[in-house]
Chain A
Amino acid sequence: MNVLAAIGEVLVLIGTFFYFLSTLGLIRMPDAYNRMQTSTKSATLGSLGVMVGVGIWALGTDFGSVAWLVKTIAIATFLLLTNPISAHTLIRAAYKSGIPLWEGSVVDKYREHLEAKEKVSGEALAEEGGEE
């Protein structure tokens, strides 16, 4: 076993550990928003570790080539770009379809934002009515 294989194996170990942590958060957390937040972040980090680790690990073996590293980095970049997008879209759909927050939640920035926007548009409508 040479140095590259050892580095890759350590990276894969860190990645699988973060995978395990993400599913643990998926089970442990109380509502859908907290579950999304814990699991998506650590799964993204874990997949980054696993992909780059496999690429470096394959470089250290006898069958490996640079193509392994290039392809795994391509997959890791794709996951890094698309995972937050899908989580954001999913949780926005959850909020709009009226799933309640956990009773221990203390801040709801999105509702404040919506209320402020509604207030501004209401004032604009009232001003238009006053001019007439």
Chain B
Amino acid sequence: MIGINVYLALIAIATLLSMYRVFRGPTTVDRLVAVDIMTTITTGLMVLFALYYKRIIFLDVALVYAMLAFGGVIAFARYMEGGL
């Protein structure tokens, strides 16, 4: 269980790199793509934290977070297309 710290650090670095694109992106779609990737990576982070704290109930949090992020990205995309 020592290696899990390394994986958590790698995922944290990946999240920070996608935050760079969120702040820097020239257009709105660049920011939205970066947010989409960031939510996917955060779902993986939550699953790893469930293993880190040895609680199976945290996996449900990750599942609900994935569902809400999917709905949010779809809503933003429809809004950009002008259909909302």
Contacts and interface: CB of A to CB of B under 8 A. Distances in A.
Interface of A: 9, 12-13, 15-17, 19-20, 22-24, 26-27, 32, 35-36, 39-40, 43-44, 46-47, 50-51, 54, 57-58, 61, 63, 65, 67-68, 71-72, 74-75, 78-79, 82-83, 85-87, 89-94, 96-97, 99
A113 B40 CA distance: 31
A68 B55 CA distance: 10
A20 B29 CA distance: 21
B51 to A, nearest CB: 5
Contacts of B14: 16, 19-20, 22-23
A29 to B, nearest CB: 10
A57 B4 CA distance: 11
Tell me the interface secondary structure of chain A in the complex.
helix
Interface residues of B, number: 46
B44 A40 contact: no
Contact of B11 (A19, A57, A92, A93): A19
